[in-house]
Each structure stands twice: as structure tokens, then as C-alpha cells.
Amino acid sequence: MIDVHAHYFDPGYVDLLERCGADERVVFDARAVVTLPENLDLGARIGIMDGSGVERQVLSMSAVSPYLADRAAAVDAARCINDLHATARRAHPERFGFFAALPMPHVAAALDEIGRAFGDLHADGVTFTTSINGRSLADPEFEPVFAELDRRAAVVFLHPPGFACESRPIAESGLTWWLGAPVEDAVCALQLLKAGFPLRYPRLKIILPHLGGFLPFLRYRIDKSAARRLPGGDPPSLQLRKFWYDTANGEPESLLHAVHAYGADRVLFGSDFPYWLGPSYDHAVHYLEIAGLDEAELRMIRSENARALFA
């Protein structure tokens, strides 16, 4: 199995973000898992992977993003997390890859880090949160970054920042991750469609987490409401099949519905490690087996789709 949704960061990176004035919500969420042995000890992590039949994790930063107002601080933070991931990859090249973080919203610095990440560190792709300091990924200012990633035919892994789309009712109800995160996933995907990403960046390989949030369940409503306002002519439900989606959801019926909505060839295994540990991690791995998928679909989701994507 190849896990495309697995996080890794250390206290030094979180301390750096805090010193540089990162959003306190980012730091707070990171503190919850950063000192867990399963997060910090790569040997312990590999032991858990072995016990679950996971061959490889592609590491990413989760919501702990280096998106800082000061350019130099953002560059330092992005280089810090990318160097950490590259070190893990060098130590265990058969077990870990990684998605590089970029010092957004600083476009020129992000382009420099793309070159370093792919050229020197051998990243498997890049990662963004589904919004950048409250701005859509489709913001025209970010166009050079996505144009360069498209030129490289890069894999792009997205993850919600955990800000609940700045919704006070969601945040004040304590539902930021329960409800807010899948909303952020779905909003980002539709923003990208409205901006014509599949047409403008046809070589870009975008992975959305958590089965795309609510998207599989809203296809008819989205098609009925939005088709005439999206570039390209195809209904949104077809354009959504141009993205990939990971299984970090846990509900067998939702997985079946997502496979029906997107196609089994667009779904990838993801565990949300180390936020899901113990029984939750076991469920993330094994709920695929009880969802009613056939053997060919299981092989695709567990590893074949990821091998093709990263090839």
C-alpha cells in the first residue's frame, strides 16, 4: 500500500513557526501531535506501517504551513520542513517520499523552492493548504506557481488549513475539523473548477483529501447550479474526475459513493497518520476491505493508482 496522506513534522519546525508569528491556530493544532513517538520516531512509524502492510508514505506538512507574512521567515520555514522530509527520505528511501511545502504567498520565493525541492531534494510533488492566508489557490497572483508546476507535470497534494472557511458558527461550535475541513476541501475543488484549472493546467495532478469532502454527495446539485458558469463545457461532475482523491474518510459507504462518482482510478489510499493512530489508524487501513470493492478496485486504490501517478 502507498499512503499519500501522512504527516511528519518536528518541534523545531513548530517552534520556528511560532517565533515567526504563524497563525496561533496552526501552532495549536500542531502541538497536539508533534511530540508523539509515532510522529517523531521513524523506526516506530515504520513498525506501524509494516504491521498494516503499508509499503510507503509520502510525507507532508498537514495544516502546519510556512505561510508567513515576512518573506525571509517563510523561506526559512519552508526550507526547514522540506529538509526534514528530505532527510527522512534519504534515511529510508524505500519507505518515504514527500510533498514539498512552498513559502507562499511569496511567488518568486516559491518558484525558487520548487527548483530546489525537485532538483536537490528529489521531492515527489508539492503540497498546499486549500487556501493560503484566506486567499483562494486560484488567486491570479499565484498563477506563475501553478504554471511552473504544470510545466513539470507535478503532483500537488492539498490539505485544509483547519480554519473552517473562517466560519464563526463552525469554529465556535468546535466543529473546525469535523465539519469545517470537508467544507474546505469541497470549496477549494469548486474554486479550482471555476478558475478553469483542468483546462489551464492539464499536466497538473491534484490530489484532494478526505474523498473530496462533500463533493461526491452533491454532484447533481452542482451540475444543475454551476454547469453554465464553469469553463470547458463539461458538467462539474465530469471535470471533478480530472482530480484525484484520498481515502482519509473512514466511512465504507462514502468510499463506495466516491468510487462511483470519480472512478476507482482516481482514488488513492490515505491514512491521516499520525492524527489517526491505534484503532483509528487500523480502521483507515482496513475499512477499504469492508466497503464492498472488488479486488481490481482494491489493488488500484491501495497502490496501482499511486504508482502510475508518481511515475
Instruction: For the chain, give the percent of residues with pLDDT over 90.
Output: 79
Separation of alpha carbons 277 and 220, rounded Å: 35
pLDDT at 176: 80
Distance from C-alpha of 188 to C-alpha of 158, rounded to nearest angstrom: 9
Question: How far apart (Å, rounded) are the C-alpha atoms in residues 119 and 111?
Answer: 12
Question: 120: which 3 cell numbers?
Answer: 536537490
pLDDT tens for residues 143-195?
999 999 999 999 999 999 988 888 888 888 888 878 889 999 999 999 999 99
The 10s digit of each residue's pLDDT in 169-181 is 888 888 887 888 9
pLDDT above 60 (res 308): yes
- pLDDT recorded at residue 210: 96
- Torsion from C-alpha of 205, 69, 88, 149, nearest 10 degrees: 20
Rounded CA-CA distance 272/38 in Å is 13
Q: What domains, with CATH codes, occur in the chain?
A: 2-310 (3.20.20.140)
Q: What is the pLDDT of residues 216-268, one digit of tens each?
A: 988 888 887 765 677 777 888 889 999 999 999 999 999 999 999 999 999 99
Residues with Cβ within 8 Å of 174's Cβ and at least 6 positions away in sequence, in order, are: none
Render 13-32 in DSSP notation, one character per residue: HHHHHHHTT--HHHHHHHHT
Rg (CA), the chain: 18
pTM for the model stands at: 0.95
